[in-house]
Homo-oligomer: A and B are copies of this chain.
Amino acid sequence: MPTALSTDLYELTMAAGYFEAGTGRSATFELSVRGLPRGRGYLLAAGIEPALAYLEALRFTAPEVDYLRRLPQLGRVPVRFFDDYLPGFRFTGDVWAVAEGEPVFAHEPLLRVTAPVIEAQLVETALLSTVLFQTSVASRASRMVRAASGRPVYEFGARRAHGAEAGALAGRAAFIGGCSGTSDVEAGLLYGLPLAGTMAHSWVMSHDSETEAFARFLEMYGDRTVLLIDTYDSQRAVDRIAAARLAPFGVRIDSGDLLVESRRVRARLDASGLDGTKIFASGDLDERRIAGLVERRAPIDVFGVGTALSTSSDAPALGGVYKLVAMERAGLARPVFKLSPGKETYPGVKQVWRVAEAGRATHDVLGREDESPPRHGRALLGRVMREGRRVRPAPAMRKIRERALEAVEELPAEVLRLDEPARYRVEVSEGLVCLTAELKRRMDAVAG
């Protein structure tokens, strides 16, 4: 969970600036992704509930305030900011968001914050790092789960994650994307996720024989036991299992050509009367490898995916932004935007509608919040926080996952395609096009 200091220094220098100027004006920021990573047809929004938990809990502790007070960069900031403002800081804003697990596309707001500008600004860094990473992982998990065509996929990537917290967050996001569980125990505790695990090569190596290592584990774990069989030679390992009359729930292969190995192991298991024993496969898997194995009918029952999930290795960072879209002036929320080359955004407070026909989404409409919805359009952004409090408790993780699985299947098949997915159509409403053009004209006039 981010702390109050999980932020860029400039959020604090700006906060002090707003405080000094007495700017209580309300601002609206929207968090969106500029473009989809190459090869991905859709994203699944994730990290929303953790972001809300952060906003609700956000406080500056006394040691944090003391640290800030002594920073030379804040040396000219009046002491009232440290004495009065920061210790009493609460997030008091309103938040709209898409449901976790909702498919989203470029330029669509995943989260919208309306709050006094000082608060809305201060939370930028933490909201981005919370939402973007989990969104990237959930989206990739969704691709893998679809590639696995009904076979369970487990997230096993904690060791390669960007620190322990990232490991737990990856487990959470992968579950939203449809994974069946994670090996990360902290994720199990924090988010109530199903846990899975087998054994490591070191367990086998630390015993005097492979048979002894297997037998010990089976004594402990009975009919849940999955034995790792490739420490020395997977064929021989199966023979040893059979010779010792062991009957594990499953065996895991973690190296070599998984297609060839799984076939050989399946044949050997079956020949040994172990036709009920399942095959788990892991080792540098991603959606393409999973799809290839499934297509060639590799007799793999369960997939374990590590690095590709926990670091979202194809897209370790989403081009996400948190942009000021409206600012109160004279009591009214006025749309604003910037013109930095290549970084233009749509101004104003927005809504996204998903238009479906016969249960299949045809396109989205990105429009002004105050426009009337398109026919058959479902609004994706709903209010989730009012004056700094959540308007409803966080849904259970299983519910989020179920909803996500359904919402993904609603997308057009060509958008869901693993390779070269079609671009999902996101229309910009007439109202938003006009507003953008009008603001550009006005700014050019000012500039001219």
A residues near B, CB below 8 A? 1-3, 5-14, 16-17, 20-21, 23, 25, 27, 29, 64, 67-68, 71-73, 76-77, 117, 121, 124-126, 128-130, 132-133, 156, 158-170, 183-186, 188-189, 195-206, 208, 216-217, 220-222, 224, 230-233, 236, 254-256, 307, 310-313, 316-318, 320, 322-324, 327, 329, 336-343, 443, 447
A399 to chain B: closest CB distance in Å?
21
Which residues of B are found within 8 Å of A1, using beta-carbon distances?
Answer: 164
If A195-B71, A206-B25 touch, whether A183 touches B8 (CB-CB below 8 Å) is: yes
Cα separation A169 to B165 with both chains bound (whole Å): 11
Cα separation A170 to B162 with both chains bound (whole Å): 9
Q: Do the beta carbons of B164 and A195 come within 8 Å of each other?
A: no
A341 to chain B: closest CB distance in Å?
4
Can you pick out 15 interface pairs between chain A and chain B where the beta carbons lie within 8 Å of each other?
A2-B163, A6-B164, A7-B158, A9-B197, A13-B217, A17-B203, A29-B202, A121-B203, A130-B163, A132-B159, A160-B320, A162-B316, A201-B324, A255-B340, A256-B342
Q: Do the beta carbons of B343 and A255 come within 8 Å of each other?
A: yes
Which residues of B are found within 8 Å of A10, using beta-carbon distances?
Answer: 183, 197-200
Q: Do the beta carbons of B327 and A317 come within 8 Å of each other?
A: no
Q: Do the beta carbons of B73 and A224 come within 8 Å of each other?
A: yes
If A183-B10, A340-B256 touch, whether A327 touches B206 (CB-CB below 8 Å) is: yes
Q: Do the beta carbons of A163 and B158 come within 8 Å of each other?
A: no
A191 to chain B: closest CB distance in Å?
12
Q: Do the beta carbons of B160 and A317 come within 8 Å of each other?
A: yes
Q: Taking CB as reference atom, which chain B residue is nearest A126?
A: B164
Cα separation A14 to B220 with both chains bound (whole Å): 10
Cα separation A221 to B72 with both chains bound (whole Å): 10
Q: Taking CB as reference atom, which chain B residue is nearest A345?
A: B201
Q: Do the beta carbons of A76 and B17 come within 8 Å of each other?
A: no
CB contact between A165 and one of B163, B230, B231 (< 8 Å): that residue = B163
CB contact between A8 and one of B2, B185, B256, B322 (< 8 Å): that residue = B185
Which residues of B are found within 8 Å of A17, using beta-carbon distances?
Answer: 203, 216-217, 220
Cα separation A10 to B73 with both chains bound (whole Å): 47
Q: Do the beta carbons of A216 and B307 come within 8 Å of each other?
A: no
Q: Do the beta carbons of B14 and A200 come within 8 Å of each other?
A: yes
Which residues of B are found within 8 Å of A14, using beta-carbon distances?
Answer: 199-200, 202-203
CB contact between A129 and one of B166, B202, B256 (< 8 Å): that residue = B166
Most B CB contacts (10 A, CB to CB) among A184, A316, A336, A342 go to A316
Which residues of B are found within 8 Å of A132, using beta-carbon distances?
Answer: 159-160
CB contact between A220 and one of B23, B76, B224 (< 8 Å): that residue = B76
CB contact between A128 and one of B71, B160, B342 (< 8 Å): that residue = B160
Cα separation A100 to B406 with both chains bound (whole Å): 48
A340 to chain B: closest CB distance in Å?
4
Cα separation A91 to B310 with both chains bound (whole Å): 27
Which residues of B are found within 8 Å of A8, using beta-carbon distances?
Answer: 156, 158-159, 183-185, 197
If A9-B183, A206-B327, A317-B311 touch, whether A201 touches B338 (CB-CB below 8 Å) is: yes
9 additional A-B residue pairs with CB within 8 Å, beyond A5-B186, A5-B188: A10-B199, A23-B206, A68-B185, A73-B197, A162-B316, A163-B163, A205-B338, A232-B447, A313-B316
CB contact between A77 and one of B71, B170, B202, B220 (< 8 Å): that residue = B220
Which residues of B are found within 8 Å of A195, using beta-carbon distances?
Answer: 9, 71, 73
